[in-house]
């Protein structure tokens, strides 16, 4: 647990600028937010269901995910988050966690007190709008996942998820040329898509054999972007990636 230096909060600025326009004063306000930095191992809970967090978590490096657990150990992963994301921003207005937040890989996290977030939002309504917009995009992604889980075939779900991950990473400069790091297991993919790891494995094999992608070690390579988006019925509108005066 160490205090943050200015440079630590740069991923947050990059992220917000991928979805909204910020003024200098607003960028400055972000940089001067107080934060404690913590390094966390892979597969550790950060915040748990029923907790009442007093800080917002900002991902500086690594991947984290939100999830719910049901009876008999069934797990549903709700979202993945990468550097620049604020995966529990909702806790600013929803006191009790209705899900858990955990690291996927080893990560560096910054914790920003709620009060300082609230204060910055009051002083910079446009910054508040950008953050609100961020939670709304989150919401849009939930809707898309719901649609996939409810109505798409296993292959299309997987293809869709990979398209989304690539585009989100590209938007913050963490991917290019249809390649990116993908540090999640097939069981993680399964738990995000409402499938079993076995079936994810089989479906990935088909996608591979169709020449659409390769997924080895922790690297995803999309060989045929247009084919993959077609297999996925992927339309990126829901990511709302055009920065916009909020």
Residues within the interface to a second copy (CB under 8 A)? 49-50, 66, 68, 70-71, 74-76, 78, 90, 93-96, 98-99, 121-122, 125, 128-129, 132-133, 135-140, 142-147, 149-152, 191, 193-194, 233, 237-238, 240, 244, 246
**Chain centre distance of CA 79:** 6
Could you tell me which of 30, 12, 19, 22 has the C-alpha nearest to residue 136? 19
| Residue 46, binding choice from DNA, a second copy, none, Cβ under 5 to 8 Å by partner class | none
- Closest separation between CB of residue 25 and a second copy, Å? 17
| Interaction mask 133-162, DNA, x per CB under 7 A | --------------------xxx-------
- Closest separation between CB of residue 71 and DNA, Å? 12
Q: Which residues pair with 102 in a beta bridge?
A: 45, 65
* 24 contact partners, CB below 8 Å, separation of at least 6: none
Looking at the Cβ atoms of 4 and 190, the one nearer to DNA is: 190
2 binds DNA (CB under 7 A): no
223 binds DNA (CB under 7 A): no
Q: How many residues does this entry show for the chain?
A: 246
| Pair 206, 155: CB distance under 8 Å | yes
CA–CA separation, 160 and 30 (whole Å):
33
Looking at the Cβ atoms of 107 and 203, the one nearer to DNA is: 203
103 binds DNA (CB under 7 A): no
- Closest separation between CB of residue 212 and a second copy, Å? 18
Q: Please report, for residues 134, 156, 188, 221, the alpha-carbon distance to residue 85 in angstroms, rounded to integers and kept in the order given.
A: 9, 26, 19, 23
Selected from 48, 61, 135, 185, the binder of DNA by CB under 7 A is 185
233-236 long-range contacts, Cβ below 8 Å, gap at least 24?
Answer: 233/152, 233/156, 233/160, 234/159, 234/160, 234/163, 234/164, 236/163, 236/167
- Closest separation between CB of residue 160 and a second copy, Å? 11
CA–CA separation, 177 and 166 (whole Å):
10
202 binds DNA (CB under 7 A): yes
Contact residues for DNA, defined by CB under 7 A: 153-155, 185-187, 190, 194-199, 201-205, 217
């Amino acid at each position: 647990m160490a205090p943050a230096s200015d440079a630590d909060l740069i991923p947050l600025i990059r992220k917000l600028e991928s979805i909204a326009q910020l003024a200098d004063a607003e960028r400055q306000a972000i940089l001067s937010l107080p934060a404690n930095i913590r390094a966390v191992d892979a597969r550790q809970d950060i915040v748990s269901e029923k907790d009442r967090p007093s800080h917002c978590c900002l991902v500086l490096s690594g991947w984290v995910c939100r999830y719910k657990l049901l009876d008999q150990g069934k797990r549903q992963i709700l979202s993945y988050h990468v550097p620049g994301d604020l995966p529990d921003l909702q806790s600013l207005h929803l006191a009790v966690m209705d899900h858990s937040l955990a690291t996927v890989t080893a990560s560096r996290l910054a914790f920003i007190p709620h009060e300082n977030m609230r204060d910055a939002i009051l002083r910079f309504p446009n910054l508040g709008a950008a953050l609100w917009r961020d939670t709304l995009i989150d919401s849009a992604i939930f809707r898309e996942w719901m649609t996939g889980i409810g109505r798409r075939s296993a292959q299309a779900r997987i293809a869709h998820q990979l398209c989304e991950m690539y585009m989100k990473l590209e938007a913050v400069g963490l991917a290019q040329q249809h390649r990116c790091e993908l540090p999640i297991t097939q069981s993680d993919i399964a738990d995000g898509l409402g499938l079993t790891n076995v079936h994810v494995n089989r479906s990935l094999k088909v996608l591979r054999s169709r020449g659409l992608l390769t997924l080895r070690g922790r690297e995803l390579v999309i060989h045929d972007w247009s084919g993959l988006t077609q297999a996925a019925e992927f339309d990126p509108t829901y990511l709302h990636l055009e920065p916009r005066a909020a």
